[in-house]
Amino acid sequence: MDWSFIQKFAPYYVLAAQVTVSISFWGIVLSLVIGLVCSMITELKVPVARQIVAAYIELSRGTPLLVQLFFLYFGFPKLGITLSAETCAIVGLAFLGGSYMSEAFRGGIEAVGPTQTESCRVLGMTWGQTMRHVVIPQALSTALPGVVANVIFLVKESSVVSGIALADLMYLTKDLIGLYYNTTESLLMLVVAYTLILLPISIVGTILERRFDYARR
């Protein structure tokens, strides 16, 4: 193990980790918004809207993230739309994550008993008020395990963005291996970096799940 190599390039991993965290954060935030909107549209029972959401989910989950990134980064310029690598990474993660978040939220919404929504109608509450005050708060607690799992999944999937020359953790690791052939040291720093990013997310997710479980009892 070449510790001098690790000491020399560890600061570069800190910078690459900031890129990974940044694109993952914004991609996850947008995917949460997309997922919640899609799950609510599904509950509207409007055939056309539901078909559009279903088509989006199938397209998003049926194509690899790398293909989606290539389409955004290399395909859009052919249409006169040029996006930076960071923007493509965020949009790609949001497009992929939105479909998974939608399914998680949909499961949570369906777990809310129909008697509660019917009671809201009897009380004169609108659909928006019912969703905002009754359905969504309960759905979020039920969907939380799936949401946390999807967040971890998206952070790990962010490693694919190295394919569009974005200097994230995976891009730096491949670059160092290609230049210096210190495979073990480079991969070790990669594993440590992702562990430091994902472990807090997993811990916070576990704590939130336990609190919501306790609140439901």
Q: What is the CATH number of the domain that holds 21?
A: 1.10.3720.10
- Give every CB contact of residue 146 below 8 A, 6+ residues apart in sequence: 103, 104, 107, 108
Q: What is the pTM of this model?
A: 0.85
Q: CA 133, CA 126: separation in Å to the nearest integer?
A: 11
pLDDT score, position 2: 76
3-state DSSP call for residue 49?
helix
The answer to whether the beta carbons of residues 69 and 89 sit under 8 Å apart is yes
* Domain that residue 168 falls in: 3-216
Q: How many CB atoms lie within 10 A of CB 133?
A: 11
213 against 93, higher pLDDT: 93
- Percent of all residues in the chain with a pLDDT value above 90, rounded to a whole number: 26
Task: Give residue 91's identity as a one-letter amino acid code.
Answer: V
Domain count of the fold of the chain: 1
Q: Which two tokens stand for residue 109?
A: 């919404």
Q: Which two tokens stand for residue 108?
A: 């949570």
Q: CA 136, CA 131: separation in Å to the nearest integer?
A: 5
117 pLDDT above the threshold of 70: no
213 pLDDT above the threshold of 70: no
215 pLDDT above the threshold of 60: no
Q: How many CB atoms lie within 10 A of CB 6?
A: 17
Residue 81: pLDDT band (50, 70, 90) is confident
110-129: average pLDDT: 68
pLDDT score, position 5: 82
- Tokens 């306790």 found at: 214
